[in-house]
Amino acid sequence: MHKINYKEGLVLFFAAWISGQALPPFGHIWVLFLTYPLFFSFIGKTQSKKEAFWKGAFFGAVYFVFSLFWATAAFNLKTLAIFYFCLGFSIWGALFYALPAYFSAFLPQGKKRLFALAFFFSLFEWFRTYFLTGLPWNLTSSIFVVSPQIFQNLSWMGPYLLGLLAILFFISPLFILKPYRNLLFPVLMLSLFGAFFYGGHLRLQKATHAYVPNVKLRIVQHHVRNVEEYIIKKKENQFDSFEKLISERPYDDITHFLFAENSVISQEINPKKVPSYVVKAIPKGKTFVLGMIRRAIGASYNSIVVINDTGKMEFVYDKWHLLPIGEYIPFQSFVPWIKPITDNANNLRGSGPKTYDFKDAPPAAFVNCFEIIFPGSIVDKNHRPKWIINASGDNWYIDSEGPYQHLVAAQMRAIEEGLPVARPVQTGISAMINPYGEIEKSLPGEVIGTFDTRLPKALPPPPFAKYGNLFYFTFLILGFFFLFKKEVLSFMKKGILLFKERLSSFGK
């Protein structure tokens, strides 16, 4: 293991810690103009790949522990378990900085290594979406929520290309200084982001805020203060409080009532049966869309269900991207100190994204809780919906950064897909988000209440919804080719010569 001297260690420690201040809800993105150049300059002058690896690992470990430390309260961890949680997250997070630093050190010290580090960092951020169960929480591009104009570029770039360009933008001050001096690059990046801002400004200026006729939603938000109270209330099936909420104002013009994840815990063994107290609460001619734990023998489903006024379950969506620790315990025999934050950590997986054709509303996609953080995988590409229902339960985040960061992910998906997102949430921030990622109506966290909202019309599929990460991978591959052009051409030349030798020997 390479030793990091204490001065370097202190600088890297504070740079990693302060970098977290750029994330929602803080939004101090200017700090990255200081912290990223510091980190990149350390990797840029390392003498060996091993040294680059350990410096990257140290930075990544500190960054992820501090930016996700709030989750120790969310998972209801105590004392020794907090230590193991931080240790696990530091090892996990360190990899996504250590490996990019290691691979970039294959290039000699200089500008090319800095560019290589940016490209490898971006590639591993994409990889983080799929590694093990995947956790694309707080992607780099999420910091631009403070600029609705730049955020609009998600519609064609997607989160990874915008994130890669952001990294290049934030390290551009390094190119004002020796030994990397190249004034053209910071001017280019400043101009590029100026163009992104202006393009986003024009998109918002020309935005048409149209609404679906004859559809009006009432979004219900109930509040649970902590994990223990959450479990108790679920067991008691306190749906009576919801009945009071939905009827606190006249609802003659309301067509659909939307409830959060796990609003109902069915004790019925038949997973297709709707509890009688839910049926009783549905007003005549109205539709309920609610999160429900549906019981089956020996297991359960974390579902979003559509129920008509006769109590018939018209549609069922089962969550397919389950939350580790919350809904299942990976490798539980090796981590016995980790306890589930819910009493249903034996959920069965659903089959994937689904679209439901409402009789009295446009077709909708259903996204359960943290599934919303996964770019490009929340809608059925073969049956494009016109809006997204994201029922979530943020009560387990307690009073932390979690609900804000979760909300930002929903805003990102709205822009990328060109679809409005209706978001009923327990304890967190319920919102109606239009397809430009703007919050039209919302309720703050830790509040009990409802709000009524019209349903914004969907936009035509933006480039990201059509082509996914095509632009990102094109830019990434071209970047890697130019960075490693000499090595690639040398490898290709050797391959051609070897092929000719084999061909000639075969002829003999």
**What is the rounded distance in angstroms from the CA atom of residue 402 to the CA atom of residue 216?**
29
Instruction: Look at residue 235 and tell me whether its pLDDT is greater than 50.
Output: no
Task: Specify which residues 439 forms β-bridges with.
Answer: 433
Mean pLDDT within 50-59: 94
pLDDT (0 to 100) of residue 334: 60
Task: Specify which residues 347 forms β-bridges with.
Answer: 300
Helices marked H in 206-248:
227-236, 240-246
Q: What is the dihedral of CA 177, 179, 182, 185, to 10 degrees?
A: -80
Is 489 within 8 Å of 444 (Cβ atoms)?
Answer: no
102 sits in which H/E element: helix 79-104
> How is residue 342 written in tokens?
């819910």
Region of poorest pLDDT, from 159-173, 288-302, 440-454 = 288-302
Burial class (CB in 10 A: 0-12, 13-18, 19+), 76: middle
Residues 6+ apart with CB under 8 A from 373: 135, 136, 137, 406, 409
Is 302 within 8 Å of 347 (Cβ atoms)?
Answer: yes
Residues 6+ apart with CB under 8 A from 10: none
Listed in order, the ranges of the chain carrying CATH 3.60.110.10 are: 211-466
pLDDT (0 to 100) of residue 340: 54
Mean of the per-residue pLDDT values for the chain?
Answer: 87
**What is the rounded distance in angstroms from the CA atom of residue 164 to the CA atom of residue 176?**
20
Instruction: Look at residue 87 and tell me whether its pLDDT is greater than 60.
Output: yes
**Phi, psi of 266, deg, nearest 5:** -75, 135
Confidence of residue 221 (pLDDT cuts 50, 70, 90): confident
pLDDT (0 to 100) of residue 269: 61
For 396-425, how does the pLDDT look when each residue is reduced to its tens digit (9 = 90+)? 666 778 889 999 999 999 999 999 999 999
Alpha-carbon distances of 138 from 37, 141, 375, 401, rounded to whole Å: 20, 8, 12, 11
Give the residue from 469, 409, 437 showing the smallest Cα distance to 126: 469
Confidence of residue 294 (pLDDT cuts 50, 70, 90): confident
Is 30 or 82 the better-scoring residue by pLDDT?
Answer: 30
- Long-range contacts, 275-281 (Cβ 8 Å, 24+): 275/237, 275/239, 276/311, 277/237, 277/239, 277/240, 278/239, 278/307, 278/311, 279/307, 279/310, 279/311, 281/239, 281/242, 281/243, 281/246
Confidence of residue 293 (pLDDT cuts 50, 70, 90): confident
Question: 10 Å Cβ neighbour count for 492?
Answer: 10
Residue type, 436: Y
Mean pLDDT within 349-368: 93
Give the residue from 455, 431, 453 showing the smallest Cα distance to 442: 431
pLDDT (0 to 100) of residue 227: 47
pLDDT (0 to 100) of residue 8: 87
For 313-343, how does the pLDDT look when each residue is reduced to its tens digit (9 = 90+)? 999 999 988 876 666 666 655 655 555 544 5
For 157-192, how does the pLDDT look when each residue is reduced to its tens digit (9 = 90+)? 999 999 999 999 999 999 998 888 899 999 999 999
Instruction: Look at residue 12 and tell me whether its pLDDT is greater than 60.
Output: yes
pLDDT (0 to 100) of residue 97: 95
Region of poorest pLDDT, from 30-34, 57-61, 175-179 = 175-179
In b/e form, how buried is each residue of 201-213, taking b as 16+ CB within 10 angstroms?
eebeeeeeeeebe
**What is the rounded distance in angstroms from the CA atom of residue 195 to the CA atom of residue 216?**
37
Give the residue from 267, 254, 350 showing the smallest Cα distance to 309: 254
For 93-118, how does the pLDDT look when each residue is reduced to its tens digit (9 = 90+)? 899 999 999 999 999 888 999 999 99
> How is residue 204 written in tokens?
């918002």
Highest mean pLDDT among 60-64, 135-139, 290-294, 461-465: 461-465
pLDDT (0 to 100) of residue 135: 86
Residue type, 428: G
**What is the rounded distance in angstroms from the CA atom of residue 395 to the CA atom of residue 375?**
23
**What is the rounded distance in angstroms from the CA atom of residue 303 to the CA atom of residue 80?**
34
Instruction: Look at residue 388 and tell me whether its pLDDT is greater than 60.
Output: yes
Instruction: Look at residue 34 and tell me whether its pLDDT is greater than 70.
Output: yes
Q: What is the dihedral of CA 243, 443, 137, 189, to 10 degrees?
A: 150
pLDDT above 90 coverage of the chain, percent: 59
**What is the rounded distance in angstroms from the CA atom of residue 122 to the CA atom of residue 166?**
10
Confidence of residue 367 (pLDDT cuts 50, 70, 90): very high
> How is residue 430 written in tokens?
């319920």
391 sits in which H/E element: strand 387-393
Range 211-466 has CATH code 3.60.110.10? yes
This prediction has a pTM of 0.90
**What is the rounded distance in angstroms from the CA atom of residue 237 to the CA atom of residue 230?**
11
Mean pLDDT within 448-475: 96
Is 373 or 133 the better-scoring residue by pLDDT?
Answer: 373
